[in-house]
Amino acid sequence: MVLHLGDKMNGHKQIILPPEARVLAVQIYARGTLLLTTPALVALRQSYPRARIDLLASSRAAPLLASWEVLDDIIELERYLVNAEDGKVESGKDSTPPLRTVLRGRGYDAVIVFAHLFEPITTFKLRHIVRSTDAKTFSM
């Protein structure tokens, strides 16, 4: 199976994933933007019916896709945000593991980032998330 992220003419490459790949889709923006990614997620599921497809989304947007059969799991980003002053998870759940630990523990083969990279801070955050997964392949 081939995940088409473009063709060689426009500088993108095709990524070949195993049929049972573990894929993390990242969409950390508002609800409307999340809904715009749903056709791509449906296409991904149709191309890889046996894959594990998880979504990293904002806590405000995640409920829109809860129990959607296209996704295996939704990881809510805000559960893992750390307060810069005291280093504690802002939700107050001291037992919550760091996001990096959660993402690495899932053994993703690929990460697909759905984002506009206009602001340097956004690019920084997303690159940090992608690097935290230790995935073999990613596309931004």
- Rounded to a whole number of angstroms, the CA Rg of the chain reads 15
Instruction: Pick the closest to residue 22 from 57, 65, 55 (CA basis).
Output: 55
What are the start-end ranges of the H helices in the chain? 31-36, 38-47, 99-105, 120-133
CB proximity list for 115: less than 8 A, separation 6 or greater = 26, 27, 28, 29, 122, 126, 140
pTM over 0.85: no
Per-residue pLDDT tens digits for 21-78: 999 999 887 777 888 889 999 999 999 999 999 999 988 888 888 899 999 999 988 7
- 71 vs 92, which has greater pLDDT? 71
